[in-house]
Amino acid sequence: MRISACVIVIFFFVFLLGSAFAQNTLYVAPSGSDANAGTSLNAAFKTIQKAANTAVPGTVIYIKAGTYHERIIPYTTGTPGNEIVFKPYQNDQVIIDAAGTTGWNIFTFYGQAYMRLEKLNFQFNDNSVSAYQSAIGFGKNSHHISIKNCSFTNLLNPNSTGIVFWGDDTTSTGVHHVLIDSCTIGDANFSLLNGIVLNGNVHDISITHSHIHHCQSSAIVSSGADSVSKKPSFDFVRNLTIVGNKIDSNYNLTPGSYQSAIAISSCRNITIERNWISQNDMAISVTAFRLNSLSLNHLIRNNIICLNHQAGLNIGAYSYPNSGWVKNVKVLNNTFFQNNTLSNSYELISFPADSITVGNNLIYAGTSVNFIYADWKGLTNLQNVFDYNFYASPFAIPSNMNFAWNNQFCTALGYFKSISGLELHGDFQLPNLVDETALSFNPHLFNNSPLINKGNALWLPDAGSTDYDGQARLNGSALDIGADENFNDYAVPNVGMSDDLINAKTSILVKRNGDWVFSHDFLAYAIFSSNGQLIYHGSNAANGEVLKLKGAGVFVITGLDINQEICEQRIIKE
């Protein structure tokens, strides 16, 4: 029987395609051998390093469940459209533990490109090595690399860091276009020193949708001017985006050490948006440590910054003139909530900086009612703008608010406006948030919130196209104050005759001639009208004590219980 030339060509093409596909899939298993071909589960490699050495552009490396005690440096690289991928086989649990090995990183990229790590677990279950350790390290001109759904826990070396970018390249290329997405970095044992460190010639990096927690110092450190790159014109991080992350509980074991969860120093073009940043020592700092260095063009917007120990934001060169300079930073539409839980600091702290815009923010202080501390070291003609910020506290009224402005301390919003010349449109309002308690804080605006349509719409381009939830940033005639834009999605509920003060998720309806009764002991409490006017302030309310509300209306009752928790309840009286 004769076979046509066409059939032979098709058969040969299919054979080559099948061979190429087989070569582009490799397998690793604890039971394997590096002497195997690695092209099937039955012929799997034993080490991930062997698979990395064998891979070609487009290879997917499937890793079977197990713990791999090794450090990996891939010497091949992918190409556009042909990534080299490292991932578990099916849903296997893969742990890469460098205990018992030596080196700088568990996984090192030094000039590689177009690679992806997925669903891998990194740990260093050995605290006997004093040398610096990190799970993943980037250097030289590594680029177009993705780290997705990986975890970094149990890194027990006292100097360990989850991911390190060491931008030592002296050309304009540097480390660039790296994505860290949906990762978990840190554990409750505070085994990490820092979560992610970026230093030197590093640019176009994205950190998104990740949870970074319980680091002893900072969750994210981004810095420049440290001579990591020997080319000063490139020796700084730029074009970094930190978006949609949860960053919590990062502090130096004992709260009060002034460590920042996100620490920015001498960098350019950093965007921090739609993150939940809570229970750290300080939330965000933007400064310039090194003499003659610059920190420029940063954008902080639509973040929830709550319940941090020392401050929500520290901005400026606090060691000026023995430092660099901070310029052109915009802080827009954030919700700051009780970021002074140790009562020895302020919600926002500002040191010398130029062209700073702080606007459309909700700044909600706790019991110390400390709002803004600014010390510009006697400098004048700084083009800084503070305006359209709304201030709130359950224990403050406009004449009882703490500000410090260039060594002048004042306890009134009006006085603060007069000495600063700022906040022409700033106001004091109880914001009517869905939940204003520390235990179950919910920053969304009720439909009757006085913060709706009170922001400056001229800042919309820099406030971004979406709010914290991803909804449109503008709904109405003007921006809403804070990180939430209201879309009539949180109506004020009426839920019955009486309720517990500690339950701040609901409003309650009191019938005509009805009484409202405290069901806990409180050290202090205050009653406000719905527009924020203080009606009455009392102390030492006992469980069962009757509070008679005269007249009809909506009242906000705020109390401080014996555990120093702030509790709030809305009372609607007929």
pLDDT value of position 479 = 97
CA–CA distance, 351 with 321 (Å, rounded to integer): 11
The band of 245, judged by pLDDT with boundaries at 50, 70 and 90, is very high
The pLDDT of 470-497, averaged and rounded, is 82
The band of 531, judged by pLDDT with boundaries at 50, 70 and 90, is low
The pLDDT of 64-89, averaged and rounded, is 96
Domains identified in the chain and CATH numbers: 26-191 (2.160.20.10), 507-573 (2.60.40)
Asked whether 428 and 398 are in contact (CB, 8 A), the reply is yes
The pLDDT of 493-499, averaged and rounded, is 39
CA–CA distance, 435 with 110 (Å, rounded to integer): 48
pLDDT value of position 513 = 64
pLDDT value of position 33 = 98
pLDDT value of position 574 = 63
Residue 373 per-residue DSSP state: E
Of 97-111, 414-428, 480-494, 516-530, the range with the lowest mean pLDDT is 516-530
pLDDT at position 192 over 70:
yes
pLDDT value of position 18 = 38
What mean pLDDT, rounded, does the chain reach? 88
- pLDDT, greater one: 450 or 522: 450
The band of 511, judged by pLDDT with boundaries at 50, 70 and 90, is low
Q: 53 in helix, strand or coil?
A: helix
CA dihedral 49, 50, 54, 58 (to 10 degrees): -50
Measured in residues, the chain has a length of 574
* pLDDT-above-70 percentage for the chain: 88
The pLDDT of 373-399, averaged and rounded, is 90
The pLDDT of 212-234, averaged and rounded, is 95
CA dihedral 353, 371, 401, 455 (to 10 degrees): 80
Amino acid of residue 531: N
What is the DSSP code string of 559-572?
A: EEETTS-EEEEEEE
Nearest to 80 by CA among 145, 163, 8: 145
pLDDT at position 560 over 90:
no
* pLDDT-above-90 percentage for the chain: 66
The pLDDT of 366-388, averaged and rounded, is 92
pLDDT at position 249 over 50:
yes
pLDDT in tens, 100-146: 888 889 999 999 999 999 999 999 877 766 666 799 999 999 999 99
Q: 65 in helix, strand or coil?
A: coil
pLDDT value of position 508 = 58
Please give the sequence-ordered ranges of beta strands (E in DSSP) within 103-243, or none if there are none: 105-110, 113-118, 121-124, 134-139, 143-148, 151-155, 161-167, 175-181, 184-185, 194-200, 202-208, 211-213, 220-223, 237-243
- pLDDT, greater one: 538 or 294: 294
pLDDT at position 567 over 90:
no
pLDDT value of position 131 = 62
CA–CA distance, 412 with 296 (Å, rounded to integer): 33
Asked whether 84 and 107 are in contact (CB, 8 A), the reply is no
pLDDT at position 1 over 60:
no
CA–CA distance, 50 with 73 (Å, rounded to integer): 10
**Cα distances (angstroms) measured from residue 66 to each of 60, 91, 121, 185:** 18, 12, 10, 20
